[in-house]
Amino acid sequence: MLDKFNTNAFISFGLGFILMWLSEATEAHMNYTAKPRVVLPPNYVKEIRPPSKKGSPVIVDFSIFVVDINSINVEDMDFRVDMFIHQRWLESRLEIPDDIFEEGDDYVTLLPEVFENFWQPDPYFLNSKIAEIATLTHKFTSVTLYKNKTVRYAARMHAIIACQMEFQLYPMDIQVCPIYIESFSSNNQKVKLRWSDSGVTLNPELKLLQYNLGQPLELEESDGYMPEKVGNFSRLTVYFRFERQIGHHLIQTFAPSSLVVMLSWFSFWLGLDAIPGRVTLLVTCMLTLVTMFTGADIPPVAYVKALDLWMAGCMLSVFAALAEFVVVKVLDVQYQYQVNRIPKVLPMRISNMEKGQCATVASWEGGAVRSRKATQTPTTPGQGNGGPPKPARRQSLLSVAWTDTDTGVEKIMWREIDKVSRAVFPILFFVFVLLYWPILLMKSS
């Protein structure tokens, strides 16, 4: 009998415990589902925007805090931005009891499930490729309700923004990349987006790898016509100004290429007796420039960039030095050929002719000997036939060599070209540099 009583008591206790747990769970569920009714009136419809003065749209204040900007991709012409976005608007239909606020606070943070029952604006990034709210275990969003019936929505998100970049002045280019924020379904007669007082704020610790971020940022408020949606929609715009840092390219491109060009000038001091060394030096300089520019991180665009002009100037200078070597080598071959063809008696005959011991003058032009009658040299008054002859400029013995009338030293064409090139090539390159950099800096500024 006692055992039966204990069994019934145990069963009753178990049933009571189960009923109590179900009651608490039901009450908790009722409390959970009833929470939206704390602030929403019975006739609230979330698809209808908050009431406003006749003909005026709902004002939505928008602000952005930029946490980081990275992955500025010149090939895909986009960049990634991590940011906090904040929206504020007035929801006058709410019924807010004072007991939902903690003591001393004028705001309360609502659950995301509660916010889903509110009317919400629908801004989106017009020129974004990807825009997502950051998540870990849940979406990083918060909704704050103030006593004056202002709703504040905040979210941490990242977006990949398309930017139409121009590289004519690369690597001194400045990219101006806008972010367009626009209402998706409500036109400007229903919703108006407006920058808040804080506008767009940058993280003070934000640093970019190859760019300087120009400040202050330019903000705009406008109405844009969207033919796809047939109407005018409120739009916010923030312009990011990315100024490329030139230091990297000065160290990696401009300074080395200038040194290679200067190295090619050393070939003018090498005689033709060092042909292998001269050819090796010039060809090595040319291949170095080709490798340097093909390996550089240059945007693959179809038009000419500022770096392409610099590359062309450097390669043209080295190529001209190589062409100069070919010219002087050809002239040297011709000189050696003419020297070997001249008879050994020729210098004696020419000397006798100049002393007046012969009635003809031998003139060598291009290796061929032509004779003509000597003309009588007129004498000045007081001078007879036996007087000293008037100094006359010597005829060029060879087309690739001549004798200086003042010093009597033989001048060889290819050697003179090398001497002139030692000054002309550096002067021309420095003129190119003096024209290149001021024009580039002027256009980039």
d(CA 71, CA 56): 41
Among 59-63, 252-256, 348-352, whose mean pLDDT is lowest?
348-352
d(CA 286, CA 187): 61
H/E run at residue 63 = strand 58-73
State yes or no: pLDDT of 296 exceeds 70: yes
Are residue 219 and residue 77 in the same domain, yes or no? yes
Task: Summarize the confidence of residues 12-20 as an average pLDDT.
Answer: 56
pLDDT the model gives residue 227:
81
State yes or no: pLDDT of 233 exceeds 70: yes
Query: Percentage of residues in the chain with pLDDT exceeding 70?
Result: 78
Domain tally for the chain? 2
For residues 19, 23, 25, 27, the Cα torsion angle rounded to the nearest 10 degrees is 180
> 246 and 172 in contact (C-beta within 8 Å)?
yes
**Domain-located, residue 284:** yes
Are residue 153 and residue 258 in the same domain, yes or no? no
d(CA 175, CA 159): 18
CA 167 to chain centre: 6
CATH of the domain at 148: 2.70.170.10
d(CA 307, CA 318): 17
- Picking from 243, 263, 286, the residue at the C-terminal end of a domain is 243
State yes or no: pLDDT of 381 exceeds 50: no
> 147 and 116 in contact (C-beta within 8 Å)?
no
State yes or no: pLDDT of 391 exceeds 60: no
State yes or no: pLDDT of 342 exceeds 80: no
The amino acid at residue 296 is A
Are residue 144 and residue 275 in the same domain, yes or no? no
Are residue 188 and residue 118 in the same domain, yes or no? yes
Task: Summarize the confidence of residues 182-193 as an average pLDDT.
Answer: 91
Q: Which domain holds residue 271?
A: 246-337+417-442
Are residue 182 and residue 252 in the same domain, yes or no? no
State yes or no: pLDDT of 294 exceeds 70: yes
State yes or no: pLDDT of 26 exceeds 50: no
**Domain-located, residue 113:** yes
**Domain-located, residue 133:** yes
The angle subtended at Cα 232 by Cα 231 and Cα 233, nearest 5°, is 115
Task: Summarize the confidence of residues 142-171 as an average pLDDT.
Answer: 93
d(CA 353, CA 360): 7
Task: Produce one character per residue of 23-45: b if its CB has 16 or more CB atoms within 10 Å, e if not.
Answer: eeeeeeeeeeeebbeebbeeebe
pLDDT the model gives residue 236:
96
Nearest to 367 by CA among 397, 412, 329: 397
State the average pLDDT for the chain.
Answer: 81
pLDDT the model gives residue 374:
41
- Picking from 189, 217, 243, the residue at the C-terminal end of a domain is 243
- Picking from 218, 243, 268, the residue at the C-terminal end of a domain is 243
pLDDT higher at 345 or 11: 11
State yes or no: pLDDT of 377 exceeds 80: no
Task: Summarize the confidence of residues 294-319 as an average pLDDT.
Answer: 90
pTM to 2 decimal places: 0.72
CATH of the domain at 321: 1.20.58.390
> 193 and 123 in contact (C-beta within 8 Å)?
yes
Phi and psi angles of residue 62, each rounded to the nearest 5 degrees, phi first: -125, 140
The amino acid at residue 222 is S
**Domain-located, residue 387:** no
